[in-house]
Amino acid sequence: IAAFIAFFLVTNMIDERKVEDGSALHLLRNEQKDSDQHNHVNVTASIISNVSFSDKKLKLPDGNKSGNHGDHHTNYSLAQNDVNSIATKPIIPNTSFRIEDGTEGNNHGDHNDNVNIPVTMGYYNLSCPFEMYKYSCAAMQDNESDEQVTAASMQYYQQHLSEIWRAFDSVFNDKINPQQKPKRIFMTGDSLLRQVFISIACNAFSLNAVERSEVQWRKKWPCPEGLTKCTIAGGEHSGFDAASVRFTNGMEIHYVPHSGFRVTGEGDVLQRMKRQVDDSGEIDFGTKTAFPPSGPMDVLVYELGAHRKPRKSREMLNSFASDIAMPLMRSKSEQRPKIVYVTTPTAHFNTTDGQHMSGKMGDEQKQCVDRVTHNPRAELEKQILKAGVNVDALLDYDDLELGALHVHKGDCLHYCMPGAVDVVGARLLELF
């Protein structure tokens, strides 16, 4: 109890204007300037170097007991050289996050061996300019249960930080890839793929690898459900539709929601790409990226997401495969993009299959369970889409046992950030 009270007092006394050796958060101020005469943007990146909780072991929530989040948090720390020296017993089961690309030997397990991780790596509690409030569990903490959820997600992130770092180092380290050609990536999907974009951008930002960025923050954005006090309902950190980022190695990633922008001129992105394939056999970024891409598309990343019913989902997946992906893969054009599909993450609602039910759900059904037996959405996606056949690569969350890492507060689909999404983002980055 004393350790927990001490932690609470320390973390609430830290101010973004104060940087002290040995403090719980090291706060670094970075200035970023756009290459196309954009305004200077001052951003403060809070990098966790050593966040400690009490020495009690964290218990996973009991799926049969709503709201029971166990004891206080176990010790963990981020951005240490010896990441494996803390939390020797993972609180979350290891997962493989399978990657399929039509070849053998592409299953990736956990990697927690000792590596020299930069002390600046990591993001937390809206320290990253791309973060959204509704996914930052640290920013939304109302009670001890929220703190338990935050701790579980942060520990998972810490346990996988060496693997995440290796992925970013392999992409952004000129010594590893001195002749690497910068690639332009188009990511289109729903809010779940937007989380993956945020993850890549935030981890790169913490490594000072962002050269230019544009995020189209909404003036108004709905507050998260179940939050006692909402402090961000619009503007920075609220919510965005489109966002673009260019990294210091020249790589660009542009995210656009696949439902499109019906009010401002570009509707469903898949329908637009289907028309382009029919007309010219090629696709482009469209007109709604946050800033214009510097050239043609090198990689298309698509995810259908969780908003469609099974029949509509099947229809859209079949259309994506037959009308867009396969014609592009058959193309002999050197400019055709690599096609990567990211499966929909597992939902862990307290329902028969973990899925959100249409209509009003009761409070008990909105409680996240630790694990489910299957993910019907991902199963459908993997039934229709095959690596090497109608997509170049398929990245599977493989997260049936990660229910403790969701946002909670009625959201058992999106994960806390940082957390599980960062492992997926790192492995997606390696596919580019």
For residue 117, count other CB atoms closer than 10 A to its CB: 20
pLDDT band at 199 (very low <50, low <70, confident <90, very high): very high
Over residues 203-217, the mean pLDDT reads: 96
Q: Which three-class secondary structure state does DSSP give residue 310?
A: helix
For residue 2, count other CB atoms closer than 10 A to its CB: 7
Alpha-carbon distance 296 to 67, whole Å? 49
DSSP labels for 166-214? HHHHHHH-TTTSTTPPP-EEEEEESHHHHHHHHHHHHHHHHTT-EEEEE
Q: Give the per-residue pLDDT at 99.
A: 54
Alpha-carbon distance 218 to 200, whole Å? 21
More confident residue, 253 or 43: 253
Given a contact cutoff of 8 angstroms between Cβ atoms, the answer to whether 256 and 218 are in contact is no
* Lowest mean pLDDT, pick from 75-84, 212-221, 281-290, 331-340: 75-84
For 302-312, how does the pLDDT look when each residue is reduced to its tens digit (9 = 90+)?
A: 999 888 888 99
pLDDT band at 224 (very low <50, low <70, confident <90, very high): confident
Q: Give the per-residue pLDDT at 264.
A: 62
Over residues 43-52, the mean pLDDT reads: 35
pLDDT band at 265 (very low <50, low <70, confident <90, very high): low
Q: Which three-class secondary structure state does DSSP give residue 66?
A: coil
Given a contact cutoff of 8 angstroms between Cβ atoms, the answer to whether 123 and 46 are in contact is yes
Angle between helix 420-431 and 161-172 (nearest 10): 30
For 341-362, how does the pLDDT look when each residue is reduced to its tens digit (9 = 90+)?
A: 999 999 998 888 878 877 777 7
Q: Give the per-residue pLDDT at 334.
A: 78
Q: Give the per-residue pLDDT at 301.
A: 98
Question: Nearest to residue 234, comparing CAs of 223, 249, 226, 246?
Answer: 223
Given a contact cutoff of 8 angstroms between Cβ atoms, the answer to whether 246 and 289 are in contact is no
Given a contact cutoff of 8 angstroms between Cβ atoms, the answer to whether 232 and 133 are in contact is yes
**Strand ranges in 227-305 using DSSP code E only, listed in sequence order:** 240-247, 252-257, 299-302
C-alpha dist (Å) from residue 341 to 110, 189, 296, 334: 21, 10, 19, 20
Over residues 29-34, the mean pLDDT reads: 34
How do 240-247 and 210-217 pair as beta strands?
antiparallel
Q: Over the chain, what is the mean pLDDT?
A: 77
| Continuous segment of H or E residues that includes residue 361 | none
For 121-175, how does the pLDDT look when each residue is reduced to its tens digit (9 = 90+)?
A: 999 999 999 999 999 999 998 889 899 999 999 999 999 999 999 999 999 887 7
Given a cut of 50, is residue 71 above it in pLDDT?
no
How do 99-100 and 393-395 pair as beta strands?
antiparallel
pTM greater than the 0.85 cutoff: no
Given a cut of 80, is residue 22 above it in pLDDT?
no
Q: Which two tokens stand for residue 432?
A: 């580019």
Q: Which two tokens stand for residue 73?
A: 């948090």
b/e burial code for range 265-296 (CB count within 10 A of at least 16 → b): eeeebbebbbeebeeeebbebbebbbbebeee
Share of the chain above pLDDT 90, in %: 56
